[in-house]
Chain A
Amino acid sequence: MMLKAENLNVYYGPIHAVKGVGFEVNEGEIVTLIGANGAGKSTTLKTISGLMRSRGGSIEFMDKSIASTAPHKIVELGIAHVPEGRRVFTRMTVEENLDMGAFTAKAANLEADKERVFEQFPRLKERRKQIAGTLSGGEQQMLAMGRALMSTPKLLMLDEPSMGLAPILVEQVFDIISALHKAGTTILLVEQNAEMALSIADRAYVMETGRITLSGTGKELAASEEVQKAYLGG
């Protein structure tokens, strides 16, 4: 097992945002957390990457506890997190953003890593000298993903990669996620677009108001009546 989280409890001041959440991700899988806005999905990802802390509970990555590891050390261990809203460095160029993504990587591999990312995202190569703040939303999402891949992560966590994108770009983003998965990257995907997420996921968890309420394979959940009603407009 690559990632195993148990009994996560996360608070924003007095608000109990994540209540006893546990889940696992096996090597080579795409696992998705779906659920409505405010269900605690993003908070769960932030807790895995160390930006938020759980009171009690445990997080194990490759059989090592990371529940109290500093965020920058977690990146070194091989988890890359593409945050909600992309959060590219808008005042830096595309290439500088990629350099930051490679902060923990060996300097000797920098150019090779960049070429690899440019192959996956040719648009970024065209715009390499451009200031990231001037990119379109879709391009910024590509940059945020490319930047995360610069560290050659074992586990890639994506938070709402389709948010605010036109339908054609959403398809493109999901094609890229599938391609990354085929190339061997393990993926933990948080999405409000449940239909798209379930269509590519091996397994899925449904979150509601801070709790995991359902879990199963992507196909099972896509066929489940509850999910159909709540998230797929069926």
Chain B
Amino acid sequence: MKFLAYLVSGISLGSIYAIIALGYTMVYGIAKMLNFAHGDVIMIGGYVSYLAAKNLGVSPLVSVLIAMAVCTVLGITIEALAYRPLRSAPSLAVLITAIGVSYFLQNSALLIWGANPKAYTPVISGTLQLFDGQLSVSYISILTVACCIVIMVGLTLFTGKTKMGKAMRACSEDKGAAQLMGINVNRTISLTFAIGSALAAIAGALLCSFSPALMPTTGSMPGIKAFTAAVFGGIGSIPGAFLGGILLGVIEALARAYISTQLSNSIVFAVLIIVLLVRPAGLLGKYTQEKV
């Protein structure tokens, strides 16, 4: 029964990674860049949701909606100001810029809200007792997994069925050809950032509901782990991000429970290295075929 409890906690932690990883992977798939500031957008989402609940007295759901709106605008702004001017620059320049944006957001948060942790009130509390109380599953775990599945299915339908979603896939494969179809590539990339950042806000609220101490560095480690999850599953692939996130969460939870709390992060990254040695494109990633 203990194993089941660890597994449940791993799946719910993994669902948060998966939601963050979906943002990473979509931006990578379309803009072909690693947005290392993604984790910090999560942190901003957490703060906005916290402040909305505290100062405006709105319900948790409304506070998350406000955070989503703010993060969407933030994501679009970051893309337009920091990344768009570098569209034809070497990818290293874009990467360094993304790291710069990450520090900018963290330090802005430090300046505005200070270094002291804020106590985030979970969006939902209470637990569900199963098997005569032998297994307790918190409602936040259930909500997290449900959110993750809804988001994953929603994104799959969006990219598979809608005109804008298909345009995203077209841009992801060949931006020049997409332009020749009449697709506005800049607007498509903006939309990708908007979706990724809105997801980051949801992830921020869920993350802070699990570990309520909200700090300017709150988003960094989950951001890096979710990036790992996206690479693990195959960067650019939506089901890959989902699978990678869940697996990463489960590995982390089991490693923490059975091997060592201190070593759990090392074990997570060791598994990543081994998987990439065997499958360099990640679990569900495909090599892009060069055609002449």
Contacts and interface: CB of A to CB of B under 8 A. Distances in A.
A173 to B, nearest CB: 19
A51 to B, nearest CB: 6
A72 B174 contact: no
A212 to B, nearest CB: 24
Interface stretch (A76-84, A187-195, A196-204): A76-84
A99 B174 contact: no
Interface string B210-247: 00000000000000000000000000000000000000
B179 to A, nearest CB: 4
B170 A81 contact: no
A80 B181 CA distance: 8
A141 B276 CA distance: 37
Return the 8 tightest CB-CB contacts between A and B, nearest first: A75-B182, A104-B182, A71-B179, A87-B177, A103-B182, A100-B181, A72-B184, A72-B182
A224 interface: no
Interface stretch (A19-27, A28-36, A89-97): A89-97
A45 B205 CA distance: 50
A54 interface: no
B183 A72 contact: yes
A91 B179 CA distance: 17
Q: Which of B167, B177, B289 gathers the greatest number of chain A CB atoms within 10 Å?
A: B177
Interface in B149-169: 163, 166-167, 169
Interface of B: 163, 166-167, 169-170, 173-174, 176-185, 289, 291-292
24 contacts: A50-B179, A51-B180, A75-B179, A75-B180, A75-B181, A75-B182, A76-B182, A80-B180, A87-B176, A87-B180, A89-B177, A90-B173, A91-B173, A96-B166, A100-B167, A100-B178, A100-B183, A101-B181, A103-B163, A103-B167, A103-B183, A104-B182, A133-B289, A133-B291
A223 interface: no
A83 B180 contact: yes
Contacts of A50: 179
B168 to A, nearest CB: 11
Nearest to A88: B177
Contacts of A41: none
A75 B176 CA distance: 13
A179 interface: no
Contacts of B185: 72
B176 A100 contact: no
A148 B182 CA distance: 10
A83 B178 CA distance: 11
A88 B170 CA distance: 9
B165 to A, nearest CB: 10
Given A72-B182, A75-B182, A100-B183, A92 B176 contact: no
A76 B181 CA distance: 9
A92 B170 contact: yes
B260 to A, nearest CB: 42
Contacts of B163: 99, 103, 107
Contacts of A148: 180
A51 B163 CA distance: 23
A89 B180 contact: no
B81 to A, nearest CB: 20
A51 B182 CA distance: 12
A103 B179 contact: no
A91 B180 contact: no
A140 B287 CA distance: 21
B179 A51 contact: yes
A154 interface: no
B191 to A, nearest CB: 14
B45 to A, nearest CB: 32
Contacts of B183: 72, 100, 103
B135 to A, nearest CB: 42
A112 interface: no
A100 B174 CA distance: 12
A90 B179 contact: no
Given A83-B177, A91-B173, 9 more contacts: A49-B180, A72-B179, A72-B185, A75-B179, A87-B176, A91-B169, A92-B173, A100-B181, A103-B167
Nearest to B178: A100
